[in-house]
C-alpha cells in the first residue's frame, strides 16, 4: 500500500457516516494515535499554541 493509498484509507475511515453513538475500531485506533502524537509533542515542549486573537487576525473572526 502506498502512502497516498494509506492516507486515502484513513480519510475514508474517518469520514464514513456513523449512526449516533457508533464508532469503528479503525476510527478509535486513528483518534488514539492522533491524541498520543499530540500528547508526546506537549510533553516534549514542542507544541505551538495560538491565541484566539492570532487566529482571528489570520482567518477572520467568523472563519469556519
Query: What local confidence, expressed as pLDDT, does residue 40 receive?
Result: 94
In the chain, DSSP assigns E strands to none
Helix (H, G, I), strand (E, B) or coil at 61: coil
What pTM did the predictor assign?
Answer: 0.47
Query: Distance (Å, rounded) from C-alpha 50 to C-alpha 35?
Result: 18
Query: What local confidence, expressed as pLDDT, does residue 64 receive?
Result: 60
Contact between residue 11 and residue 26 where contact means Cβ atoms under 8 Å apart: no
Q: What are the sequence ranges of the domains in the chain?
A: 3-59
pLDDT along the chain (64 residues), means of 10: 71 70 84 93 90 87 69
Query: What local confidence, expressed as pLDDT, does residue 1 receive?
Result: 58
Amino acid at each position: 500500500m502506498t502512502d497516498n493509498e494509506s492516507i486515502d484509507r484513513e480519510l475514508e475511515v474517518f469520514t464514513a457516516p456513523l449512526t449516533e453513538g457508533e464508532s469503528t475500531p479503525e476510527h478509535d485506533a486513528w483518534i488514539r494515535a492522533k491524541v498520543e502524537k499530540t500528547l508526546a509533542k506537549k510533553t516534549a515542549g514542542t507544541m505551538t499554541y495560538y491565541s484566539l486573537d492570532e487566529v482571528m487576525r489570520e482567518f477572520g473572526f467568523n472563519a469556519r
